[in-house]
Amino acid sequence: MSSFEARCQQIDHLCQKMDAMLEKFNSLMDVFDARTSQSAQRSQDPAVDDLRNQVNDMQGVRRSERSNESPESDVDDVESLPDHRAQQPSGHLVSDSQGKLRYVGGTTNLILIEAVQSLGDQRTSPIFNTPGSTGSHSSSVIGLPFFSGSSTSLRLPMAMSPDQVSFPPQYVSDLLVHLYFDQLHYTFPILFKPYFMRQYGKLAARNPNDAPDPGFLCVFFAVCACASGLLPRPAGGGVATASAGRPGQEFYEKSWLLYYGSTGQGTIEQVQCLALLSVCSAGWNTLTQAWKFAGQAVRTAQDLGLHTGLRRPAQDEPNELLMEQMGRRVWWSVYGLDRLLSMCLGRPMAADDDDCDCGLPLDMADEQLEVYCRDPTTGYGASSALAGFLAFSELCKIASKIVKSTRTVQRALGSRGLKKELQAQTEMLDRQLQRWLQDLPDVVKFSPNRSDDDGRLHLTMCIITFILHAASIINLQRPWASDKHELIESPHEARNQRNLSSAEQCVQAARSCIHTAELILFRVPPSHYLAFSVHQLGVAGILLLRTSPTIPPPASVQEDVQKCIGHLGELESVWSGAERSKAILQDLLRRATEAADSGSFELFGGVAEQRDMLDPDFFVNFEAAQNFQS
């Protein structure tokens, strides 16, 4: 009897265990169903479907291009290699000695990570611990060698600490913060406005004895520095003094010094601070420093793994989704910043597109994104103020490919074997530019025709994207137009689908840039956008003069150049580099008209010297070409 009771108790105990297991299983299934429905909701978003269709179209164009190529190719077709980045993680996020997540990639490091994983449970291993997490085996597993405790960076003893910083009056900081989010934020969405405003409210209401958050503080002063350039400038021409030409310099210096106080840490605030300092420097026409800051911002973002799109663990699903979207915004902000400044200076870009797996952020305003992350089933409606920035980011990717292809074309123009391959690549990039223009959202494309608030928000990015589009055409077609021997022998050989030669496409793009420039002064804020726009405006005017087939230039060319000079003169008060570009254009135009007014070419010593003031690679005098052929 006793054995029977013992068996009954054993069975009862097993049933209790089964009930507990079933409860856990049911709860896990509920979580799984919820996440599956959220994933399905995101995969059915129209923006995602549209992006997927664009990628498929581009891949179809590339496949058709490769099918038409000859089998004997002298150039390795890198794009024909299969891309498994979507199936395989490009790296890992591991904890450093301070518990902050850092990115580690590469095959050799993967071996190291797998070895550490084998020493303990992945969920309890300290290399995967998130800040604040604890594990029972954390003391028995060693972290990665370059993130050990001894590798912690030392704090600079002379760096400024938060308690040493003086703050501007409340009304001044309120004005600057409002200006920043009103005029600059959605053109450069590196900050999340709801979070920033909550932190700003805490900063304003803090106890004087409480030390503010140093990470937020360096971002706050960088915002004030950028917003100072948005304040109205006194009329009357150029900047009189260097200090007057650098509004917000005091805030800039405080932000920079506070940043150095956090050297060695890995936070998203560091990326934001460096990027905003770069924007501010570009607005002052200190482009070299801006380019350096942009490169540092890219490196800091890569340190956090933002270029990979890897999800960063959070306490709950809404915060994790919000962190993912914010990481995407930060990455594409620094990506475009680096691209524009590198193109402006003709310098190397900090990030390679082959290393970037980060998707574009959702087309949502900040407040709408916060609601969506709490409940993804709500979906989202029409395009937001972020639509122009997303279109700009897509164009930056194409412009980056063009810059890389241009270097190849310039090196290979002497090789007839490579010329056909490179010309096919140029045609493919040209089609990508055309497709981008066709797919540009109407809210951005037709924003100049609207006078409401939405039109005002999109107009700035409309101007910037059209100038970048014109610059991309010039970069793409300029190397082919410079082959003057081919232009003389067969001027109709290289033409696009619109029956325009490379030289004609460059001239058309330059005119488009000049006609867009009348809106720059009123809509493009002092930033890397303004620096790039003014630079391209000057290049456009010079290109029109130096590609003129005759001296003096035709009346239409002179009219466009005079417009360009006028626009540059208006921009002198907000960006000092416009003054020098205007002077170069005025001198070129004066020399051309003086040569014609003199009734002879004695000013330049003859026709040969006359050509020297023009671009020798772009000189297309068809009358001379006919004489040459005869």
Listed range (121-125, 560-564, 607-611) with the worst mean pLDDT: 607-611
Average pLDDT estimate for 402-425: 77
**Confidence at 494, pLDDT banded by 50, 70, 90:** low
- DSSP summary character for residue 186: G
**pLDDT of 606 strictly over 90:** no
Q: Taking the domains of the chain in order of start, what are their residue ranges?
A: 91-151, 162-378, 387-629
Query: What pLDDT, on a 0 to 100 scale, did the predictor assign at position 138?
Result: 36
Answer whether 484's CB lies under 8 Å from 456's CB: no
Query: What pLDDT, on a 0 to 100 scale, did the predictor assign at position 15?
Result: 76
Average pLDDT estimate for 567-588: 93
Average pLDDT estimate for 389-415: 86
Question: In this predicted model, which residue has the larger pLDDT, 226 or 9?
Answer: 226
Nearest to 466 by CA among 482, 487, 447: 447
Question: In this predicted model, which residue has the larger pLDDT, 234 or 46?
Answer: 234
**Confidence at 232, pLDDT banded by 50, 70, 90:** confident
Average pLDDT estimate for 335-360: 94
Query: What pLDDT, on a 0 to 100 scale, did the predictor assign at position 422?
Result: 82
Listed range (167-181, 193-207, 301-315, 432-446) with the worst mean pLDDT: 301-315
Question: In this predicted model, which residue has the larger pLDDT, 6 or 565?
Answer: 565
Answer whether 615's CB lies under 8 Å from 548's CB: no
**pLDDT of 627 strictly over 60:** no
Average pLDDT estimate for 617-621: 39
Task: Tell me how far apart the alpha carbons of residues 298 and 333 are, in angstroms, rounded to a whole number.
Answer: 10
**Confidence at 396, pLDDT banded by 50, 70, 90:** very high
Average pLDDT estimate for 524-537: 96
Q: Which of 81-85, 130-134, 196-200, 517-521 has the highest mean pLDDT?
A: 196-200
**Confidence at 12, pLDDT banded by 50, 70, 90:** confident
Percentage with pLDDT > 70 across the chain = 70
Task: Tell me how far apart the alpha carbons of residues 437 and 526 are, in angstroms, rounded to a whole number.
Answer: 26
Question: Around Cβ 3, how many Cβ atoms within 10 Å?
Answer: 7
Task: Tell me how far apart the alpha carbons of residues 65 and 88 are, in angstroms, rounded to a whole number.
Answer: 28
Average pLDDT estimate for 476-487: 62
Listed range (83-97, 295-309, 364-378, 568-582) with the worst mean pLDDT: 83-97
**Confidence at 237, pLDDT banded by 50, 70, 90:** very low
**pLDDT of 3 strictly over 80:** no
Taking only the tens place, the pLDDT of each residue in 43-72 is 444 444 544 454 445 444 444 444 444 333
* CA distances (Å), origin 381, targets 170, 319, 478, 585: 37, 22, 41, 47
Question: Around Cβ 136, how many Cβ atoms within 10 Å?
Answer: 9
Task: Tell me how far apart the alpha carbons of residues 282 and 280 are, in angstroms, rounded to a whole number.
Answer: 5
Taking only the tens place, the pLDDT of each residue in 173-185 is 999 999 999 999 9
Query: What pLDDT, on a 0 to 100 scale, did the predictor assign at position 106?
Result: 81
Query: What pLDDT, on a 0 to 100 scale, did the predictor assign at position 142?
Result: 45
**pLDDT of 85 strictly over 90:** no
**pLDDT of 118 strictly over 70:** yes
Nearest to 90 by CA among 485, 475, 356, 422: 356
**pLDDT of 427 strictly over 80:** yes
**pLDDT of 530 strictly over 80:** yes
Q: Which residue has the tokens 């040493």?
A: 164
Instruction: List, in sequence order, every residue forming a beta bridge with 92; answer none if it has no partner.
Output: 104
**pLDDT of 315 strictly over 70:** no
Structure tokens at 198: 């909550």
Listed range (93-102, 335-344, 492-501) with the worst mean pLDDT: 492-501
Q: Which residue has the tokens 């605030």?
A: 269
Question: Around Cβ 281, how many Cβ atoms within 10 Å?
Answer: 26
- DSSP summary character for residue 576: T
pLDDT, the chain, mean: 77
Query: What pLDDT, on a 0 to 100 scale, did the predictor assign at position 584?
Result: 94
Answer whether 342's CB lies under 8 Å from 404's CB: no
Query: What pLDDT, on a 0 to 100 scale, did the predictor assign at position 610?
Result: 41
Answer whether 262's CB lies under 8 Å from 216's CB: no
Query: What pLDDT, on a 0 to 100 scale, did the predictor assign at position 314?
Result: 63
Task: Tell me how far apart the alpha carbons of residues 619 and 606 are, in angstroms, rounded to a whole number.
Answer: 16
**Confidence at 139, pLDDT banded by 50, 70, 90:** very low
Query: What SS3 class is residue 524?
Result: coil
**pLDDT of 486 strictly over 70:** no
Task: Tell me how far apart the alpha carbons of residues 185 and 385 are, in angstroms, rounded to a whole number.
Answer: 10
Average pLDDT estimate for 194-199: 95
457 in the Ramachandran plot: left (φ > 0), alpha (ψ -120 to 50) or beta? alpha
Query: What pLDDT, on a 0 to 100 scale, did the predictor assign at position 108?
Result: 81
Answer whether 284's CB lies under 8 Å from 245's CB: yes
Work out whether the CA dihedral 423, 435, 364, 53 comes out positive or negative: negative
Average pLDDT estimate for 111-122: 72
**pLDDT of 354 strictly over 60:** yes
Strand 91-95 with 101-105, pairing: antiparallel
**Confidence at 626, pLDDT banded by 50, 70, 90:** very low
Average pLDDT estimate for 474-492: 59
pTM value is 0.77
Average pLDDT estimate for 560-568: 96
Taking only the tens place, the pLDDT of each residue in 283-312 is 999 999 999 999 999 999 999 999 988 777
Task: Tell me how far apart the alpha carbons of residues 356 and 354 are, in angstroms, rounded to a whole number.
Answer: 6
- DSSP summary character for residue 72: S
**pLDDT of 395 strictly over 50:** yes
**Confidence at 137, pLDDT banded by 50, 70, 90:** very low
Task: Tell me how far apart the alpha carbons of residues 352 and 364 are, in angstroms, rounded to a whole number.
Answer: 27
Q: Which residue has the tokens 């934001």?
A: 272
Structure tokens at 252: 């800039």
**pLDDT of 573 strictly over 60:** yes
Query: What pLDDT, on a 0 to 100 scale, did the predictor assign at position 374?
Result: 86
Question: Around Cβ 308, how many Cβ atoms within 10 Å?
Answer: 22
Q: Is 522 exposed, middle or buried (0-12, 13-18, 19+ CB in 10 A)?
A: exposed
Average pLDDT estimate for 345-362: 92
Can you list the pairs that 351-356 forms with residues at least 24 positions away whose Cβ atoms lie under 8 Å? 351/298, 351/302, 351/307, 353/397, 353/400, 353/401, 355/90, 355/302, 355/307, 356/307, 356/308, 356/331
Query: What pLDDT, on a 0 to 100 scale, did the predictor assign at position 440?
Result: 93
Q: What is the 3-state secondary structure (H, E, C) of 92-107?
A: EEEECCCCCEEEEECH
